Amino acid sequence: TQLLEQSPQFLSIQEGENLTVYCNSSSVFSSLQWYRQEPGEGPVLLVTVVTGGEVKKLKRLTFQFGDARKDSSLHITAAQPGDTGLYLCAGVLKTGTYKYIFGTGTRLKVLA
């Protein structure tokens, strides 16, 4: 059972376009993180969101945590080829012990 579903799974867009990636769950997460992974490398943390409704901006990237802390979105404005990569959301589930769960991933390709 995949607890964190990401959509879309694949995305190919032209440079300059905007896009939104979604991360959804039926479970409540105490925090949620977004990573970007490039081929041959490990994931690199982009942002952590903790509070329901929180919005964080990182240059052209805007991250939002849902009010109920069950979902999140990543919006990229004016995408560039350097944004190409695998985007992963990940969350901490606290149920007695804690589990760190990764989303299914969104593979983004930005064409020049």
Partner 1 sequence: KAGVTQTPRYLIKTRGQQVTLSCSPISGHRSVSWYQQTPGQGLQFLFEYFSETQRNKGNFPGRFSGRQFSNSRSEMNVSTLELGDSALYLCASSLYGTLDNEQFFGPGTRLTVL
**Residues in 43-102 that interact with partner 1 by CB under 8 A:** 43-45, 48, 50, 88, 90, 92, 97-102
CB atoms within 10 A of CB 77: 13
Residue among 15, 17, 41, 67 that touches partner 1 (CB under 8 A): 41
**First vs last C-alpha separation in the chain:** 37
Applying CB under 8 A, does 10 fall inside the site for partner 1?
A: no
**Segment contacting partner 1 by CB under 8 A, of 14-22, 38-46, 64-72, 74-82:** 38-46
Q: Are 87 and 74 in contact (CB under 8 A)?
A: yes
- Provide φ and ψ at 5, rounded to 5°: -100, 130
Q: How far is the CB of 82 from partner 1 (least distance, A)?
A: 19
Token look-up 């979902």 returns: 71
> What pairing do the DSSP bridges indicate for beta strands 19-24 and 85-95?
unpaired
- Using CB under 8 A, list all residues that contact partner 1: 2, 30-31, 40-45, 48, 50, 88, 90, 92, 97-105
